[in-house]
Structure formats: structure tokens, C-alpha cells
Structure 1
Amino acid sequence: MENTDAKANTPSVKELLKILYGGKRFGNHVDEVWPRLFLGDMTVANDRYSVWKLGITHVLNAAHGRPHSEGSADFYGPAVEYHGVPADDSPTFDLSKYFCSSAGFIHNALEVEGGRVLVHCAVGVSRSATLVLSFLMLHQRLPLLDAVLRVKQHRWIFPNKGFLKQLKILDVKLRTQTGHATMSLPNNV
């Protein structure tokens, strides 16, 4: 497939925004958006009892080190594996440099018997949603539009325009890559 075909099959940011605006515009503190993969906000993430009640074994914090985000390996203790991404919810922030490591963390967690993953940021709609979408694209081989629609079935999400552009670039790269194999992706995808 030529690069132009891949670009033609990838929705524009404007088209993605129209899809994201549709449907409900509110959400729970946490929702299961893929089997054993939960997307949530810091209310649930900062409550160890809620994390325990959900049976979470792995936490990916897309707001690591940011105000009001208590998450860390020490916060959750030895029963929960922790991965922090120090992302800003800004259209100029390059979240794509964390796509592969975050998607790998989620994938490895789901490979563990009984593994349950919570991915969160402050509100659970932009940074964390973007990382969940990149996981679905990289490891579940979903095109960007399919990933967005799948997550939207379970949770309202709204990645900022900069993150949508980064996901579009990833989508085009995956579409042009022969066989869409995730293992051969460079770390900077």
C-alpha cells in the first residue's frame, strides 16, 4: 500500500473531532474499555481502595509527577506494577515518544494471568485515552478510527488536537508498514 493510500484511509483531525464530539459527553470515574483494560481519572487512581476493588494489577499514569496525581510505585505498593508517563495535556506535547513503551506495558500486563490495567491521567479523556488508543493500534492492530469507536462505546474520550495528529501519524505508519507487525516498530513511532 502506498503512503498516499494510507493517508487517504486515515481520518482527518476534523473528522475525528466530529466523531469525538458525538455521543455522551460525561463519564464515570473509570470504565472498562477493552477486556481487563480500564480508563479512568485521578479520582479513582488516587484511591487505593478503588484500585484494589477493581482488581487492578498494573497502573499506567499518563500524568506522572503532575499536580494532584499521587500515583507512583510507592503509592500503590508491591502488589501493583506502576508505569509513569510525565505528560502535559497540551497540543504541543510530544506524547508519541511514549506510545511504544506505554503500549508495551499494557500489552505485557494483559498477558499476565489475571492482569488488569488502569490507565489514567487527570480526567481520563485526553492523555490516558491517547495511550489506550495507541495500544489498540499497536498491539490489537486496530486502525485509528476503529480504536476511537471501540473506546467510545464504553467511555467519552477527547484527546487534544495535537495528540490526534500524533495518532494520525502512527495510523499512517502502521498502514504503510508491511504486515502491521508491532515488534519491528522503532521506539520513536
Structure 2
Amino acid sequence: MSNWTPSPMSQTPYQLRTPGASEILPRLYVSDLSFAENPAALTTLGITHILSAMRGYVAIPHELPIHRAQYPLEDLPFSELAAHLPSATAFIRSALHDPNARVLVHCMEGVSRSTSVVCAFLIAEYGWTPAQAIQYVKTRRRSAEPNFGFVQQLQEYADSLRR
């Protein structure tokens, strides 16, 4: 008898689920944890940098030459996302300066934490509003749904960049 319980993502209707990684911008992807831990999947996309937006151990294959950063975020509205955004967006920006780099941002399901970090990058890099960034990311990854607290913190981040 198995103790396996399906994740909330596997309970999402198939047409709403986003399998694997989604390319948000050229060379910038969002995924769930299982993709980030899959050496074949990472190799197929040529991933060179991984930003993990979650707590706990992430089994990124050590045999691959991947630069990594991890931010210990919980998917809770009051988790301190904003405190990590300057360094998280700097990690992505620095990586993408190398034309051969390919960056993967992931969390457990690829829905809230990872998409919020990518939205913050779009806000910082292109001057988009949080609403513009979220809407754009949703066009590239249908399952993207930053929680309401992260949306508020994206606004705080955007405001801080304008000062």
C-alpha cells in the first residue's frame, strides 16, 4: 500500500496544467520542481542557471555545470518575497548578460513563487507594472497565479525601483 498523495498540480484539470518548463522570454524559463531535478530535461533546454524559489533540498543534478541560487520562500501571502527580489532579479540579469546562458526559475509547482520572481525581473528590467508583468507571464504559462500577498509585494518592489 502506497502513502503517495497527488500534488495539487496533478489534481488540476489537464487543460489548465502547464507541463514541464515554459519559456517566458528567450532563454528565461519557469518550471516546477520535478523539471528542475530532471537532468535530461535540463540538458534538452541547455539550462546553465537555476534559481530555486522554495525552501528545502533541491536535487539539482551535480553532474551538470549549473550555477544556482536558492531563496527560501514559502507559498504564503505573507512570506517575505520582497526582501529577496533585488538579489533574485540581479541573479537573473547577470546570467542573461551571457548570450549562451539559459535560466530556469522554479518552485514546487511553477505557479506562484517562481512566476512572482520572473514578474519582478520584468518589472525591474523593462519598467513594467506588476499587472503588466503578471498578465504577460500568464500568456506564456497559463497556470501562473502569484498569490495575493506576492502581488502586493510586487507593487512594493515596483514602487521602490521608482524612488
TM-score range, shorter chain: 0.7 to 0.9
Task: Identify the residue that residue 17 of structure 2 maps to in structure 1.
Answer: 26
SS in 2 for 1:153: helix
Name structure 2 gaps, 5 residues minimum.
1-14
Aligned residues: 148
Distance in 1, Cα, partners of 2:96 & 2:131: 23
Identity of aligned residues (%): 32
Task: Identify the residue that residue 70 of structure 1 maps to in structure 2.
Answer: 59
SS in 2 for 1:32: strand
Matched, 1:139 2:125: yes
Deviations 1:142-186 (A, max 9, x none): 221221121111102111111111012123333x43xxxxxxxxx
Distance in 1, Cα, partners of 2:85 & 2:77: 16
Task: Identify the residue that residue 121 of structure 1 maps to in structure 2.
Answer: 107
Matched, 1:98 2:84: yes
SS in 1 for 2:16: coil
Task: Identify the residue that residue 97 of structure 2 maps to in structure 1.
Answer: 111
TM-score, L = length of structure 1: 0.73
Deviations 1:65-123 (A, max 9, x none): 25xx324xxx3446110111111111121111110101000001110121100000000
1:28 deviates by: 2.1
Matched, 1:161 2:152: no
The 8 Å contact of residues 39 and 64 in structure 2, kept in 1 or not, is answered as: no
The 8 Å contact of residues 30 and 39 in structure 1, kept in 2 or not, is answered as: yes
Task: Identify the residue that residue 130 of structure 1 maps to in structure 2.
Answer: 116
Q: Which consecutive segments of 4 or more residues in structure 1 shift more than 6 A?
A: none
Of 34, 48, 65, the match for 1:79: 65
SS in 1 for 2:51: strand
The 8 Å contact of residues 18 and 141 in structure 2, kept in 1 or not, is answered as: yes
Distance in 2, Cα, partners of 1:125 & 1:153: 13
TM-score, L = length of structure 2: 0.84
Of 146, 152, 175, the match for 2:138: 152
